[in-house]
Amino acid sequence: MNNLSIKVKLSGLAGLVSLCLVVLSMIALSSFNNIAMLNETLVLVKDSEVDMLQLRRNEKDFLTRLDVKYQTKFERNYEQLTVRINQLKQKIEGLDWENGKDAELVNLLQYLKDYQHSFYNIVAIYKKIGFTHETGLRGTLRRAVHDAESLVRKSNQLQLTADILMLRRNEKDFMLRKLQKYKQKFERNYSFFNLHLKASALDVTVKRAIELKMTDYRLKFMQLFDGYQQFGLTPDTGFQGVMRDSIHKTEAIYHQLTHELETNIIAQNNRIYNQLLLITILLIIIIVSAVLSISYSINTRLDLLKSHLRDVAIKSGDLSVSLKISGRDEITLICKYFNQFVDNLKNTFNQIPIFSEHLEQASKINAAVSSQTHQLAVTQQVESDQLADAVSKMVLATEDITHNIHVAANSAKEANKSVLQGKATIHHVSHSINALAEQLQSSVDVANNLAENGNSISIVLDVIRDIAAQTNLLALNAAIEAARAGANGRGFAVVADEVRTLAQRTAASTVQIQALIENLQKNVFSTVDVMQNGSAGALSTAQDAANSMEILDDISDNVQQIFELNTNIARASKEQGVMSTKINQNIMSINATVRETAKQSNETSQSSSRIKNIAVELQALVATYRF
């Protein structure tokens, strides 16, 4: 472990933790995938059950309504159910499950196929029996008994009619209740009918005809009975019983699959929980062990390093002690670099006495130079004070010039704003005048259309006036004819008089409307003239506004040029003021520097004396170390 660096150890620890997390994630992912597959399988089973219930619904709908469209729905749902069962088979093959499920699914498909065949046989039987009382065996049975009844009624045999009604009763009872005893009653009543037919006083030909019709009726009833018997007189017999048995077996398999899947999902959840818990505990133990091992190896070497450094610190000034730690980690490098530092420190201590002597000589020379520097600094301070006064006066004059230029620039700027505001106002007025001119033009068009509509109304009024005149003539003619008719035409004369009155009122109204329309057209033409004059005036005003806009553009350009010139002058004046201020500041800084130089030259002289004393003390201090 000591041959590995701490970085490598920590990287290995991080890699171990990452590997453990990856393993845990892969195991959890695999387990969750199994649970997801089980859940998908359970969903397929539930969906298949729904499809099976849909088949049952189609079956019941067909038996209730006897409509072939439910056979089509049954076929479509059966194909969908078959696809789901094949998908379920593939899902179960991908699961780690006990054997025997493939056989159950095969049996399930076989039961569904039996159910399908039974349903198709029932549909075929009902097609044979007849979906309505006029089709199939039911229709032929009905026609046969109607033929027999018509012959019996013609013969006026009440007993035979009663026997036929009894047979019809047995027929209806059978079709309602599907009980075999009604077949036996039918046979017995049919025998009674034959006995009564033979004992009747009917002609032999009539008897033969009635016998043939009744024989055909009996044959059709027996065929109908056989059809219902094939279908199943009870829910447990015939194709109905086969279909019921198949669907019950199918439901049993679905219930078993659902129960086993739910049980398996619960078991898988428990197994995955225990497995993940065990793996997590194991990985935590591995990680904690690795952390403790690395921590122990690092702490052991740190304790050894601490012991060596304590020896160096306790043995005052003894630089002959060196750190001895084996290994290739960072702690070994620290010991190596510390030993190199001690060696460099030894060399430095060997050079300190020589440097101390040189430092003492340099301090003497520095003291003499500092005295001369102090005298020069006093002279330079007096000259810099005079220069600072002159520059301050120049800065004040420059600031006055800059202020005046700024005032002129601001005035030009305000003038430019006023010109722009006037330009915007004129532009808005011009836009409004143009809009007004367009609206006036639109109003002129509307007024012209109104005048044209007035002309159209005048034409219509002419037609109405002609119709009123014709109506008046017709009413007059009708009154004349009514007068010729005498008393019989009085009512017609009153109506003709009312019609003539209405025609006269209509003619008078058309004259009034014509006068109103002519007055309206005159007003419209006057309005058109006024609007056209207003539109021309608005266009002229808009042109004047456009000319004013051009003049304001020229004024704005000139004011902008003045503003730019003032701005450039102000900028140059400001830069000159800044430069003057900087010169003043630099002179003041030089003055302060000179004063500081004089002060520091004095301090330097004092420092030279202290350096000399320090050099003596340093030589005495180095003499206390052993190396």
Per-residue model confidence as pLDDT tens digits over 73-124: 988 988 998 888 888 777 777 666 555 566 777 777 787 888 888 888 888 8
Identify whether the C-beta of residue 125 lies closer than 8 Å to the C-beta of residue 227: yes
Cβ neighbour number for residue 585 with a 10 Å cutoff: 13
Query: Measured between alpha carbons, how far is 180 from 118 in angstroms, rounded to an integer?
Result: 22
Q: What angle do CA 533, 535, 541 make, to 5 degrees?
A: 105
Nearest C-alpha neighbor of 627 from the set 344, 358, 354: 344
**Range with the largest mean pLDDT of 191-200, 332-341, 422-431:** 191-200
Beta bridge partners of 626: 318
Query: Please, what sign has the CA dihedral across residues 274, 278, 279, 281?
Result: positive
pLDDT at 63 over 70: yes
Whole-angstrom Cα distance, residue 430 to residue 544?
A: 9
CATH 1.10.287.950 in the chain: give the residue spans: 370-585
Provide the 10 A C-beta neighbour count for residue 535. 19
- Which are the contacts of 89, defined by CB distance < 8 A and separation ≥ 6? 102, 105
Greatest mean pLDDT among 242-246, 283-287, 305-309, 380-384: 283-287
Query: With 70 as the cut, is the pLDDT of residue 426 above it?
Result: no
Alpha carbon 344 to its chain centroid, in Å, reads 71
**Cα gap 439→444, rounded to integer Å:** 9
Q: What is the percent of the chain with per-residue pLDDT over 70, rounded to a whole number?
A: 70
Q: Which of 38, 29, 32 lies closest to 92 in space, CA to CA?
A: 38
224-240 core/surface letters (b: 16 or more CB in 10 A; e: else): bbebbebbbbeeeebbb
**CATH topology for the 6-128+239-290 domain:** Four Helix Bundle (Hemerythrin (Met), subunit A) (1.20.120)
Alpha carbons 301 and 303: distance in angstroms, whole number: 5
What distances in angstroms separate CA 450 from CA 398, 526, 561, one per listed residue? 78, 13, 56
DSSP 8-state symbol, 486: G
Tokens of 411: 């005035």
Neighbours of 433 (CB within 10 A): 20
From first CA to last CA, the distance across the chain in angstroms is 35
Mean pLDDT, all residues of the chain: 76
Please compute the mean of the pLDDT values over residues 227-239 and round it to a whole number.
Answer: 79
CB-CB contact of 293 with 1 (8 Å): yes
405 vs 399, 416, 572, 574, CA distance in Å?
A: 10, 17, 10, 10
Which of 74, 78, 81, 76 is closest to 59 using CA atoms?
74
Identify which of 47-61, 337-351, 512-526 has the greatest average pLDDT: 47-61
Which one has a higher pLDDT value, 394 or 585?
Answer: 585
Q: Can you give the pLDDT at residue 188? A: 92
**How high is the pLDDT of residue 367?**
62
The arithmetic mean of pLDDT across residues 377-393, rounded, is 67
CA-based R_g, the chain, Å: 63
Which token pair is 170? 């047995």
Q: What's the pTM?
A: 0.40
CA 541 to chain centre: 57
pLDDT score at 397: 63
pLDDT-derived band at 589, boundaries 50, 70, 90: confident
**CATH 1.20.120 placement within the chain:** 6-128+239-290
Judged by DSSP in three states, 478 sits in helix
pLDDT in tens, 595-622: 776 677 667 666 667 766 776 676 666 6
Please state the rounded mean pLDDT for residues 416-436.
71
* pLDDT tens sequence across 548-558: 677 767 777 76
pLDDT at residue 448 tops 60: yes
Interhelix angle for 158-177 vs 181-199, to 10°? 170
Q: What would the DSSP string read from start to end of 102-165?
A: HHHHHHHHHHHHHHHHHHHHHHHHHHHH-SSTTSHHHHHHHHHHHHHHHHHHHHT-HHHHHHHH
Residue type, 477: N
- Please give the biggest Cα pair distance in the chain: 178
Q: What is the pLDDT of residue 166?
A: 92
Cα–Cα distance list, 303 to 10, 296, 307, 341, 391 (Å): 19, 11, 6, 21, 71
Query: Is it the case that residue 224 has pLDDT exceeding 80?
Result: yes
CATH fold of 370-585 reads Helix Hairpins (1.10.287)
Are 583 and 380 within 8 A, CB to CB? Answer: no
Closest to 224 (Cα-Cα) out of 160, 120, 161, 133: 133
